[in-house]
């Protein structure tokens, strides 16, 4: 019975299984899956595209193309849609057809307005932007070989002024977004790298960067509140993409050349100038050249030229980058290593840096985890301060100079030996900084529900710099073997250590909701930031030897202190921020964004600690309206934008609101001779508990156009920025007991920037030639609109030539910040009548002297007579970029023009003061009465003082910033070698500069404000020429 039951059940089961199989085989709904295969190629050259994504829409089935562009997908539903996508190409969709071999041709995507840009705490499509945001991608940054990312931005973005501080290797460029943002604090923008804010330049190599987005208007930057007054630079580093591991190498090597400079006299010309000086009846100083020559006629045979000793032409530079990237199973990774080395074109200078970065992303269900690890090791060698001034003071008839010469006796009188000791001490001085930096960024994103996500990010950084400055032991002896003592050549060593840390924690809640044509986005942020800086140094004089210079190998007095130099203090800054932002988009036509940020800073007292920074912006995509559709084939994009935003500034001293004491003010109560020297301190700054935020209000109006399927794009912005309650340092009279440098910082000034920006781009294809051109134009007008109190003018920066120090740049109500206020002149006193008239103002004047003008007619020549002579800031900037590609060849060039900036040629002043400039051969004399060059008197005479307006020169220039010519071998050839790309290229930076300025270089940035445009022997910018190779596999 039981057996029969089992047979019945077995029979029934077999029937059921047979029926199911029959149904599956007969019903098309349950048909077997198929295998699809094919090849993906570029529509331009029919070459295979490696790594293109192939997906079956609505499923998890997919893969990527191989090195030839081939793909095979198995178990694909017989009915479905294949999707093909690749970065930079339009997505292709095709219906699955059984037994078909596909040939998919992908076209380049020219829809630049659909590009996604980073806007801070999120991303947006370019056509949805309501603020002024500009982007530069990695391909543009990589063209210029530089240690500083900022330098590669010059001329790329309208409204972003980039000016080299110096040409010294390892130096950072000054970047100002829409003009000066602060007088007393930093003008640099805020850097945010992968969401983590940095206090200063993050020190990245261009090879690490995927893209840079610049927030220019206050409405866009307001989401960073306290930090956004100078604009915001958002840096996204490179990350991996799913697929097989890809390896790329980019290496180049080149040389640098100095192409300009001052023309100095030789020995015979120097002797002529000495005779000319004596013929005027001037008293010859004991250390002047003629006296030395008279004592030692052997020096007539000398013809020393120290410029070739200091200026090192044809110096090498190299740059090597290695990248590994890839990913699978929801994990992507990127590992980047970079080595950069640049030998300096001036003696004892250079820079070397290693960068390592590892980025990874892991996705699992609703979780996404990001990690970013980076390290930097660098070595910077800086030349001695005042190197060029020392060159000008060393006469061509002096002893020949060899910087490798050991200690010993040299020929010449004692004055010659002292001069020789001075210049050798400068040439042997070394200043080396060894730095290490480490950064960790860990971020977790959780998708709570559809449209709602939470992200928490923790970032930390640690940087340490150890600086060793050595003035080596160098002794000069007289003919009897006795050492000639010289305080200027005293040996010594100083070791300085600087440590900075940063810690940030951000929590971001994002909510996206779409209802029909209405799209809503809401963002809430809470952030904590902490920055610390500490510095200490030890200094000791009189080294025993130069073999192993150390603090223990010196016998003189020692000095220990804190700060970056003789003065300074350790500091800690903390910030707390809260942000709310709302964005609305109706059918892509009407755009609205509003935000408010609340920030608290430890740099203010508790009464003024918190600041509120609201912003609002709106946009209208007119081209999306129904009435525009007939014109859309021609003008496919037309958008109007308007914004208002406020930002704050707290980038000034950490203890500005507190009184500070300074040491080293010792005092002998019973007199210096009979009393005991007691340790003393004085109060050098007064407390100001009422110091509060500097606030910026900015209005922005913009328009965006795109024509003929985005081949031609045009963007323009007009802005007005009002800066209120600016912090100005006011000097305190010494009678208050604060010494000669006492000051207090008060909110006593207002300033405004207004300007206009244009960006124009065109890209197209003619036959097999792809070409592109773009141009930018920016003009900014700066003005200090209010200075409280009766003092409407305050000195800001000065020029020191070694023999005199003169105030040049000023803060003055009604003028631009950093204005040059110079003493007006009226030619040369070249006739007896003109001299007699001038002697009423300056009784000691002589024929050939420079005539200063008593502008206010008060009978005195003083600072009240100064006039405005421009500034170091350009009135306008123009950038022009062009490139083309044809059959593996590529060519690009970048031009940059700075218009309307002035330069005070302090280098010329110094060479005039020492009577070594070749111009002095044509100075005024009785035999040359029509000359416009003042006669030489002495080094500190008013004929060669920097405050005279004759030293102001037009610093406008046009520069070929970069030019590149490359050739990539055809893919079918390189694939036989197991490679995917093999490209060779030649490149040059700063190849051509057109300017009227007759100094070394017209790009004199210095600190970006107080010394901007003051050429004090600034490290020149060199021409760089290099060749390189790129390999990918």
Domain ranges of the chain: 1-29
Q: Averaged over 951-960, what is the pLDDT?
A: 96
| CA–CA gap between residue 219 and residue 593 (Å, rounded) | 9
Q: Where are the beta strands (DSSP E) in 819-927?
A: 819-822, 825-828, 850-852, 867-868, 876-886, 889-899, 902-905
Q: 71 has which bridge partners?
A: 38
Give DSSP secondary structure letters for 683-726.
EEE---TT---EEEEEEEEEEEEEETTTTEEEEEEEEEEEEEEE
**Rounded CA gap, 586 and 924, in Å?**
75
- For the residues of 755-801, what is the DSSP string, one character each? EEEEEEEEEEEETTEEEEEEEEEEEEEEEEEEE-SS--EEEEEEEE-
The tokens for 714 are: 């045009």
Q: Which residue has better confidence, 143 or 372?
A: 372
Tokens of 257: 């050349």
Q: What are the residue ranges of helices labelled H in 27-120?
A: none
Burial 869-889 (b: 16+ CB within 10 A, else e): bbbbbbbbbbbbbbbebeeee
Instruction: Report the range of poorest mean pLDDT among 296-300, 785-789, 901-905, 1017-1021.
Output: 296-300
**Of residues 728 and 157, which shows the higher confidence score?**
157
Q: In sequence order, which ranges of 404-449 are alpha helices (DSSP H)?
A: 414-428
Question: 302 versus 460: which is more confidently predicted?
Answer: 460
Report whether pLDDT(25) > 70: no
Q: Kind of pairing, strands 133-137 and 209-215?
A: antiparallel
**Tokens matching residue 431:** 């200043």
Residue 279 DSSP class: H
pLDDT greater than 60 at residue 430: yes
For residues 1014 and 872, the answer to whether their CB atoms sit within 8 Å is: yes
767 has a pLDDT exceeding 90: no
Query: For residues 681 and 19, which has the higher predicted lDDT (pLDDT)?
Result: 681
* Selected residue with higher pLDDT from 328 and 876: 876
Does residue 959 register a pLDDT over 80?
yes
Q: Which of the residue ranges 129-138, 722-731, 999-1008 would you say has the lowest mean pLDDT?
A: 722-731
- Tell me the CA end-to-end span of the chain in Å, nearest whole number: 73
In the chain, pLDDT over 70 holds for what percent of residues? Answer: 88
User: 278 near 284, Cβ under 8 Å?
Assistant: yes
CB of 899 closer than 8 Å to CB of 803: no
Of the ranges 13-17, 159-163, 498-502, the best mean pLDDT one: 498-502
Q: Which two structure tokens, joined as six digits, stand for 7?
A: 């047979």
pLDDT at 27 over 70: no
340-349 mean pLDDT? 94
Q: What pLDDT digit, counting tens, does each position of 697-716 carry? A: 999 999 999 999 889 999 99
Q: How far is residue 212's CA from residue 215's CA, in Å, rounded to a whole number?
A: 10
Average pLDDT over residues 183-208: 84
d(CA 968, CA 250): 13
pLDDT score, position 328: 86
- Does residue 834 carry a pLDDT above 90? yes
* Predicted pLDDT of residue 665: 66
Q: Which residues of 201-211 are buried (b: 16+ CB within 10 A; e: fewer)?
A: ebbbbbbbbbb
- Within 10 angstroms of residue 752's Cβ, the number of other Cβ atoms is 19
Share of the chain above pLDDT 90, in %: 46
Model confidence at 7: pLDDT above 50: no
pLDDT band, very low/low/confident/very high, at 994 (cuts 50, 70, 90):
very high
Bigger pLDDT: 22 vs 889: 889
Check residue 622 and give its pLDDT: 95
Tell me the pLDDT band of 812, cut-offs 50, 70 and 90. very high
pLDDT at 723 over 60: yes
- What span, in angstroms and rounded, lies between the C-alpha atoms of 666 and 653? 26
Tell me the sheet residues that pair with 1023: 257
The DSSP string of 513-575 is EEETTEEEEEEEEEEEEEEEEEEEEEEEE-BS-SSS--GGGB-S-EEEEESSSSS---EEEEE
Residue 82 has pLDDT above 80, yes or no: yes
Q: What is the model's pTM?
A: 0.84
Look up residue 505 and give its two tokens.
């924690």
**Looking at the predicted structure, is the pLDDT value of residue 409 above 90?**
no
Instruction: Give the mean pLDDT of 772-789.
Output: 92
What is the per-residue pLDDT for 68? 80
């Amino acid at each position: 019975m039981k057996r029969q039951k089992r047979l019945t059940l077995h029979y029934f089961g077999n029937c059921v299984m047979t029926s199911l199989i029959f149904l599956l085989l007969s019903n098309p709904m349950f048909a077997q899956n198929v295998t699809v295969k094919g090849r993906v190629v570029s529509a331009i050259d029919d070459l295979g595209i490696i790594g293109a994504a192939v997906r079956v829409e609505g499923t998890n089935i997919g893969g990527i193309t191989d090195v030839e562009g081939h793909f095979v997908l198995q178990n694909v539903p017989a009915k479905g849609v294949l999707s093909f996508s690749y970065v930079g190409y339009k997505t292709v969709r095709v219906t699955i057809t059984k037994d078909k071999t596909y040939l998919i041709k992908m076209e380049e995507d020219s829809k630049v307005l659909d590009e996604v840009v980073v806007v801070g705490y999120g991303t947006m499509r370019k056509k949805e932007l309501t603020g002024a945001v500009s982007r530069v991608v990695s391909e543009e940054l990589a063209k210029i070989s530089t240690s500083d990312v900022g330098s590669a931005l010059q001329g790329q973005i309208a409204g972003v002024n980039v000016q080299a501080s110096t040409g010294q290797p390892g130096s950072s460029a000054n970047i100002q977004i829409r003009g000066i943002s602060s007088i007393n604090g930093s003008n640099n923008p805020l850097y945010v790298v992968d969401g983590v804010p940095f206090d200063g330049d993050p020190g990245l190599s261009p090879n690490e960067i995927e893209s840079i987005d610049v927030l220019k208007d206050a409405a866009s930057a307001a989401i960073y509140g306290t930090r956004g007054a100078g604009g915001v630079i958002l840096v996204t580093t490179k990350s991996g993409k799913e697929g097989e591991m890809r390896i790329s190498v980019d290496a180049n090597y080149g040389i640098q050349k100095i192409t300009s400079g001052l023309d100095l006299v030789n020995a015979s010309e120097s002797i002529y100038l000495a005779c000319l000086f004596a013929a005027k009846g001037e008293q010859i100083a004991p250390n002047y050249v003629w006296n030395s020559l008279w004592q030692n006629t052997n020096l007539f045979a000398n013809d020393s030229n120290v410029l070739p000793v200091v200026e090192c032409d044809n110096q090498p530079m190299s740059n090597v980058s290695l990248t590994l990237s890839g990913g699978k199973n929801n994990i992507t990774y990127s590992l980047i290593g970079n080595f950069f080395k640049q030998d300096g074109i001036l003696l004892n200078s250079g820079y070397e840096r290693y960068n390592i970065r590892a980025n990874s992303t892991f996705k699992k269900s609703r979780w996404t985890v990001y990690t970013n690890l980076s390290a930097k090791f660098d070595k910077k060698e800086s030349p001695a301060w005042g190197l060029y001034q020392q060159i000008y003071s060393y006469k061509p008839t002096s002893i020949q100079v060899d910087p490798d010469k050991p200690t010993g006796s040299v020929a010449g009188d004692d004055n010659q030996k002292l001069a020789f000791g001075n210049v050798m001490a400068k040439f042997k001085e070394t200043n080396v900084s060894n730095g290490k930096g480490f950064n960790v960024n860990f971020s977790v994103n959780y998708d709570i529900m559809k449209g709602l996500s939470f992200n928490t990010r923790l970032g930390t950084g640690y940087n340490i710099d150890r600086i060793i400055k050595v003035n080596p032991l160098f002794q000069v002896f007289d003919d009897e073997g006795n050492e000639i003592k010289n305080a200027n050549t005293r040996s010594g060593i100083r070791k300085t250590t600087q440590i900075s840390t940063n810690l940030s924690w951000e929590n971001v809640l994002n909510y996206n909701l779409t209802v029909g044509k209405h799209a809503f986005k809401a963002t809430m942020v809470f952030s904590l930031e902490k920055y610390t800086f500490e510095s200490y140094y030890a200094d000791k004089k009189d080294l025993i030897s130069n073999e192993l210079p150390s603090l223990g190998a010196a016998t003189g007095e020692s000095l220990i202190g804190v700060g970056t130099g003789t003065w300074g203090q350790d500091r800690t800054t903390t910030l707390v921020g809260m942000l709310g932002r709302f964005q609305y988009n109706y059918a892509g036509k009407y755009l609205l964004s509003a935000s408010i940020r609340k920030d608290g800073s430890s740099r203010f007292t508790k009464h003024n600690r918190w600041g509120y920074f609201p912003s609002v912006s709106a946009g209208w995509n007119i081209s999306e309206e129904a009435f525009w559709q007939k014109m859309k084939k021609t003008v496919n994009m037309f958008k109007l934008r308007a914004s208002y935003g406020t930002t704050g500034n707290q980038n000034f001293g950490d203890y500005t609101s507190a009184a500070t004491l300074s040491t080293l003010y010792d005092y002998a109560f019973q007199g210096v001779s009979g009393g005991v020297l007691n340790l003393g301190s004085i109060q050098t700054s007064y407390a100001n508990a009422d110091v509060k935020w500097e606030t910026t209000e900015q209005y922005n109006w913009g328009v965006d156009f795109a024509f003929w399927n985005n081949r031609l794009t045009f963007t323009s912005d007009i802005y007005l920025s009002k800066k209120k309650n600016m912090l100005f340092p006011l000097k305190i009279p010494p009678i208050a007991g604060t010494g000669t440098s006492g000051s207090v910082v008060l909110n006593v000034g207002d300033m405004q920037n207004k300007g206009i920006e244009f960006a124009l781009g065109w890209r197209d294809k003619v036959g097999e030639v792809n070409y592109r051109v773009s141009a930018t134009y920016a003009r900014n007008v700066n003005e200090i609109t209010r200075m409280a109190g009766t003092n409407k003018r305050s000195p800001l920066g000065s020029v020191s030539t070694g023999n005199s120090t003169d105030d040049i740049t000023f803060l003055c109500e009604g003028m631009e910040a950093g204005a040059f206020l110079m003493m007006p002149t009226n030619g040369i006193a070249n006739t007896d009548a003109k001299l007699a008239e001038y002697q009423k103002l300056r009784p000691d004047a002589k024929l050939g002297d420079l005539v200063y003008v008593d502008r206010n007619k008060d009978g005195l020549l003083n600072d009240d007579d100064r006039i405005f002579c421009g500034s170091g800031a350009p009135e306008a900037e123009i950038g022009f970029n062009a490139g083309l590609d044809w059959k593996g060849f590529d060519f690009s060039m970048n031009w940059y023009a700075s218009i309307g900036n002035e330069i005070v040629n302090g280098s010329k002043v110094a060479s005039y003061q020492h009577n070594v400039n070749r111009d002095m051969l044509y100075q005024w004399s009785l035999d040359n009465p029509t000359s416009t060059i003042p006669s030489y008197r002495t080094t500190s005479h008013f004929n060669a003082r920097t405050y005279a307006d004759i030293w102001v020169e037009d610093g406008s220039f046009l520069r070929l910033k970069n030019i590149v010519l490359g050739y990539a071998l055809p893919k079918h050839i390189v694939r036989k070698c197991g490679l995917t790309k093999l490209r060779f290229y030649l490149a040059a930076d700063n190849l051509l500069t057109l300017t009227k300025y007759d100094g070394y270089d017209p790009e004199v940035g210095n600190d970006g404000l107080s010394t901007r445009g003051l050429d004090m022997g600034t490290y020149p910018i060199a021409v760089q020429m290099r060749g390189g190779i790129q390999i990918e596999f």
